Amino acid sequence: MRTVTAIAILGLGVVLGCRRSDSSSLRMNSMPIHSDTTPIDELQAIDVNETKQWILCRGRDRSKPVVLFVHGGPGTPLMMYSRAFDDSFINDFVVVHWDQRGAGKSFDPKAPIEQLRFPQFVDDGLVVVEHLKRKFQREKIVLVGHSWGTIVAFAMAAKRPAEFQSLVTVGTMTDTIAIENYRFKLLKTAIEASGDKAAANDLAELGPPPYGSHVKLERFGNLILKFLGFGGVFHELTMEQASAAVLKNREYSEAELVASFEALKIGLNQLSDFVNAYVAVRAVPSIQVPVYFVQGQHDSNTPSKISREYFDALIAPQGKTWIEFEDAAHFAFYDNPERFLEVLALAAKPPTKRF
């Protein structure tokens, strides 16, 4: 969700401030057995449609199923959280994080902003998938999309379903305007209840969605944090804890974190028109892979009610499953990693073993 990206801008500010001041395994038989069972912990720049884009592959056994995470934003990498949160997954999977074009380590300040087009992200993602299939000698991989990444992942799976064992979406973006109107009403109610006249004036000046720039999204994000808190993003973690988790990464230099801060803004400005117009049921009315919707009950960034409407309408001949985590918000896989591991185990099973 784009408001999460706006909040992430604030979170990165906390991280950068910190940097400156303080210089039992599940069994799965879902994929072919591979003889190489050595661990992998590898950061790599790969050629993707005439650009260099970065992936991080981690797993204690490279013969395990490969899971590609497609991060949110646009421009909010999950790679920077991997060291803090992915240990729950890497016993049973090879976890791959990909910094998309214009995001994180893949950000190139010299690249023309016109390249940040939605079809390009989809094509880039499919190139990454082909690379992973060759690298790990796989016929299929499991695809996980989060927030904005659900838009990209749905399009990838719709375009090339044969590449994927299944699709797992977390915090599914389905109708941007409906979501942001919902959040605007929640915020307006909270501000009115507080009696804070200055905040009420700020919200009135900002006006209702859509918001077409990072400046407005950041203002909206500030008000969300003040009156609705951080609980709609992470349910179990505070903003400070989430920011501290970034400090555990080994992949980003301080300069790259600073650049990520700028990349967020560029991505928001360039892609806002597309995101504001996005309605999932029109973009992807049907899907030819098994799909799992994972929703945090406390997620106010992509509310369950709106995500469920798309789930109910989606035509999915290979099967669709709705899974709601009671103790989670927008980052459900990090709020409850043990339960998400169970979802991945289901998603990695071949169709003949689904039930």
Domains and CATH numbers, the chain: 2-177+231-353 (3.40.50.1820)
| Extended strands (E) in 78-163 | 94-98, 141-146
Residue 185 pLDDT > 90, yes or no? yes
Is residue 132 very low, low, confident or very high in pLDDT (cuts 50, 70, 90)? very high
pLDDT digits 0-9 by tens, 9-59: 444 444 444 433 333 333 333 444 456 889 999 999 999 999 999 999 999
CA distance 190 to 1: 20
Two structure tokens written together for 176:
């941007």
Q: What is the dihedral of CA 172, 177, 179, 184, to 10 degrees?
A: 150
DSSP-derived pairing of the beta strands 141-146 and 164-170: parallel
Specify the amino acid at residue 72: G
Residue 290 pLDDT > 60, yes or no? yes
Q: What is the dihedral of CA 138, 142, 146, 149, to 10 degrees?
A: 50
- Give the per-residue pLDDT at 229: 80
CA distance 163 to 140: 5
Question: For residue 95, what are the β-bridge partners?
Answer: 58, 67
